[in-house]
Structure 1
Amino acid sequence: MKALIVDDEARVRKAVRLLVDWDAHQIDEILEAGNGNEAIEIIRQAKPALVIMDMMMESGNGIELMTWVNEFAGNTKFIVVSGHNDFEFVRQTVRHGGIDYILKPIEAEAINVAVAKAVAAWRSEEDDRSERQKQSIQLNEFKPIYGEKLLSALIDDPINSDLSLRRLCSDGIIPENIHSARLILVQTDAGNNPLIKRFGGDTELMNYAIVNICNEFLHSPLKGVAFRYWGGPPEIAIILWDIQTSVVELIGRINHGIYSTLQVRMHFGISSIGNLPKQLPYQRAEVAEALQRRNLLIHEDYCHFSSSSEEFRDRKEIAKAEVRGNVSTTNFADVKEDWKMAVISGSPEILSTAAQHWVDELSRGGVVTPEILNSWKNDALLFRSQLVREMLGPEAEGALAELEQADQLHPAPYTNGYSFSLFAWRDWSYTLMQELAEVIALKQAKERNPMHDIVKYIELNYASDLSLQEVAGKFFVSREYISRRFKQEYGINFSDFIVNIRIDKAKLLLQNPRLKLAQISEMVGFHDVKYFSKVFKKQVGSSPKDYRDTFKS
């Protein structure tokens, strides 16, 4: 696995190299770039799995690089390391799919946790891609009649699209001399559990059934072809070459057929008419945008045209376009303070009021789209992360891990679902704030435990000759209390705890080649360098000198 470090300061790139435990993350090749433009060229050629980048650079800034990675190298994960504690930078990082936003000076633990998350996400997606590829092969073996692999290639392999079209024509799937077509995407609802249960939880079987229903209305006479598109996330696509037919009436008949069979109606994204096959990649982007920008408050409209199509202004589309233009400009920042005060209060009534205010602001403009919902959901999760870090400091990472685990039990409503409900989003926001309030209150209660103050005192004074009697007297507790609590909470005694802290600090200082062993020994509280070396080797498994040698390039 490859990683790329992007920063215009060589010392920062070197620091990242030293602080990340590359072997532990199974990263065997580390590349460097001095600016965003140089990074883009390296990403194109080397295709690293991970990019660790600065936000502010003289040539090619971080936001430009993130935008490019998100658009052209979507498999690559990135972590931002910045000296700027700027909310907009953090927000841009989240919106472009960044794994974490770490402030300088860089802490070894923080960056290694972020790298671990990035590597895990990359490997998970890699496994998903491999699994989808296997499914694609199997599906094409069982359903060769639809030529789904070739049909998908028309969209995602423009270099060979003419060849694919010729093969589809020779197989009789697409008629000869077809030059123009529309692309239509059928939006299936991954959150529709009752429908999926009807197929025994098998979404592939469900999609196969939907494709068959669509083709019943397309094949007599031959107007187009519906197929399972395998070039990305699960989608059902229709290539409609009968451009004279009324696409709205056709989709109405298809939707009636789907409803008669499955008791649901589905949403269709419809492109403008374009050249077949050259325009298909652009048409796919059009219809994906149309579905992302459909107004979830209008339940009875199932046809969603791209803004470049003529039909966008037909069928009272002008009025709808005007409504779309009135989308509320309310930002999450407008409710952020309400949420913060509600979480700090922990009061169910105040939490409920804040949640209701959020959905009121969300729907105030008369338009709620999947795009808007995703943006607000990301802002809400970003708020949670920032508040936890603000309130809990060093305890933040553990609290965030607990909250992310709770997200699996109480996930956000599906943003592209058919049964959109403001009440469901209100309940989700209430639950999110309630769980956040509980975690913060619990962690703060632990902070009031005298052991936390004792540990902090030891961490600040580890270089001194600390004694159990001295610490007990300072905090007005007995020696026996401290000894018992150290055993209960850390599994070791008081003196071993101090030794562990001293050795951990020594390991950091050993990375500085200008410090002598005797100096480091004194700095961490060992007055005899030989005794320091003996204890270090016992704890770490290697001598201080051997440990230091591992950092030499």
Structure 2
Amino acid sequence: MNILIADDERVIREGIKRTIRHIFPDYQVFVAERAEEAVKFMEENRIHIVLTDILMPGMSGLEFMKISKRRYPYVKWVVISAHSEFAYAQEAVRLGARDYLLKPIGKPKLEELINNLAAEIQRDSDITKQGERLRASLRFLREGVFQRLASGLDIGNLDIRSFVEDYRDFYLVMILLDDSERSVRLEHFIVENVLTELIELHGHGFVVSHDRQSLIGLVTLHEDARVEQFQEEVRSHLTHYLKIPFQILYSGLSSDINTVPQTVKRMREASASQAFELEPLKGSGEKAIDVALHYIKEHFGEDLSLEKMASVVFLNPAYFSQLFKQKTGLGYKEYVTSLRLEQAKLLLLNPKLKLAEIAERVGYQDMRHFTQMFRKKFGLTPTEYRQQEDMNIQMTKASPPQS
């Protein structure tokens, strides 16, 4: 049994690893700090169970699970988190997680969970496993043939008539990643899974790795599918998931598989004349910020750290911060502070509320810190502001009505 633990907190991942190794000494346990490391382990080993943290650098645990499930349908997923938010658990279950565990994870609970999942895996029939292996073998053979074809290499005496029958009319999609500064292994994995999911949604086809920097998708659309909608969804989804510059190129509709090498060559030549650009804020990223703004207004008195808020909308903190500033024109912390202090001004108009109670209601546990922030923004302490407003009210009452 191979188990992968993905968590950016070393103490947590090593602690879970030691516990599992102690209870189940025959199990192989891998640990990953980032999603990129986790992807590497999953590509190189048959992982049976993944325990993934909600928050990880580069990609949230829920996003990691979502884009991995198509490629690894047999894996049992468990989400671990320091937060008991219902929204996390609800989304985790919707995506197929078998359980949602809160840190710190007790030894009895972990032992019970692993035993239950191991029993489920054991119950998987040999027929199902053989079927999975056969489908995977056929997929790799088909994609291997296309990969050679797209690269202009000889495919020998392979009979591709059935391939041609399956894809009488098709489009090619090329995604190029900017690898100028870092490894793009994680982004490669993201594109392969996201693009494959969209191809299967709108028609049938597959995605292959063309080289280190690029991937090619082949898609035959359903009769009622619109190519413009497919292209827009590809752009929208990749804009949401990718955190590096990328290009998308499309071919026209083709009915001759033998034209693929020339088409791919022309697409690469066209890409050389285009600069890599980060896609503008749009689509699911913009919707996520709208959800975040609504959540902040409803929960301004609670913990609203950047990490917490980013996890609520299932984005990594750095990307969330970038999108938030693009949308609002303010940094996240500045926006939350301003909202809280404006709410405090309204509460100060109620003479029955004590200052400490008001501070707590708007998210400040430290009265001193609340006073400092209020004075910095409005030039008055909360007490001075309340006194000033009381005087204004008294003066208004004392003024004779205008005839």
TM over 0.5: no
- Tell me the TM-score range normalised by the shorter chain: 0.3 to 0.5
Q: TM-score, normalised by structure 1?
A: 0.28
Q: TM-score, normalised by structure 2?
A: 0.37
Q: Which has the higher helix share?
A: 1
Say which structure, 1 or 2, has more relative contact order (CA 8 Å, 6+ apart).
2
